[in-house]
Amino acid sequence: MNKIYHAVYETMADWETGHATAHIRNGHHHREPGRYELVTVGLTTEPVTTMGGLRVTPDVPIGSVEDAAMLILPGAALWDEGDELAPFARKARELLEAGVPVAAICGATAGLAREGVFDTRGHTSAAPAYLQMQQGYGGAEHYVEALAVTDGDLITGTPTAPVDFAREIFAKLDLYTPEVLEAWYQLFAHSDASAFETLMASSDA
């Protein structure tokens, strides 16, 4: 159960999950390094072009997701342009019902809202009004004004806070001790130089 699936699709917002993926793969984890394998998942295995212009070839199609430790859903213009990415939202609902964590940021939260995932779970997004525009959304009472929110196995984030989103992912995956996780956050969110020493000390351990 060590595969972390990262969805990739046309118009994907590269920067929203960059902190998370870089440190899942390369961070000095307090458990064994390389504990998780990052697998890219697309609608098919045809190459896609991200919003930043990077060309990415998915490792597997959405129908082949198995033994998932987590599914990460970045934002994309496509989430707001129709239901082409709905298979990712359906898979997210299936995984959550099976007790597998799902992390969604920005436009991906709209897809989960339409799928009914937020009707019973605490969540955040770009703004409450953004989700209220989504047909099928019934979770307004569970909306939380925060940069990133974890409710059980569901992690959601606002588009302007990739560091906060990554912190919630790392905590859920138990990548770091709480002290090291806080130091990581202080360094990347607030450029706190003193936090760097804590991180360096942990990597030498």
**Which DSSP string do the residues of 138-189 spell out, in sequence order?**
--GGGB--SSEEEETTEEEE-TT-HHHHHHHHHHHHT-S-HHHHHHHHHHHH
Token pair 């995932």 is found at 117
What CATH code would you report for 3-174? Answer: 3.40.50.880
Q: Is 155 exposed, middle or buried (0-12, 13-18, 19+ CB in 10 A)?
A: buried
Least confident of 19-28, 59-68, 98-107, 136-145: 19-28
Q: Which of 4, 20, 65, 106 is catalytic?
A: 106
Backbone angles phi, psi at 79, to 5 degrees: -60, -25
Mean pLDDT of 119-131: 97
pTM of the model: 0.95
Three-state secondary-structure class, residue 1: coil
Rounded to the nearest integer, the mean pLDDT of the chain is: 94
pLDDT bracket for residue 30 (50, 70, 90): low
Token pair 């940069």 is found at 147
Give which of 52, 47, 43 is closest to 17, Cα–Cα.
52
In whole angstroms, how far apart are CA 131 and each of 1, 34, 46, 50, 111?
A: 32, 36, 30, 23, 9
pLDDT bracket for residue 205 (50, 70, 90): very low
Mean pLDDT of 147-165: 98
For residue 27, the model assigns a pLDDT of: 65
Q: Is the pLDDT of residue 28 over 70?
A: no
Three-state secondary-structure class, residue 38: strand
For residue 198, the model assigns a pLDDT of: 84
Q: Is the pLDDT of residue 140 over 90?
A: yes
Q: Is the pLDDT of residue 58 over 90?
A: yes
Q: Would residue 106 show up in a list of annotated catalytic residues for this protein?
A: yes
Where in the chain are the domains?
Answer: 3-174, 176-205
Mean pLDDT of 58-79: 97
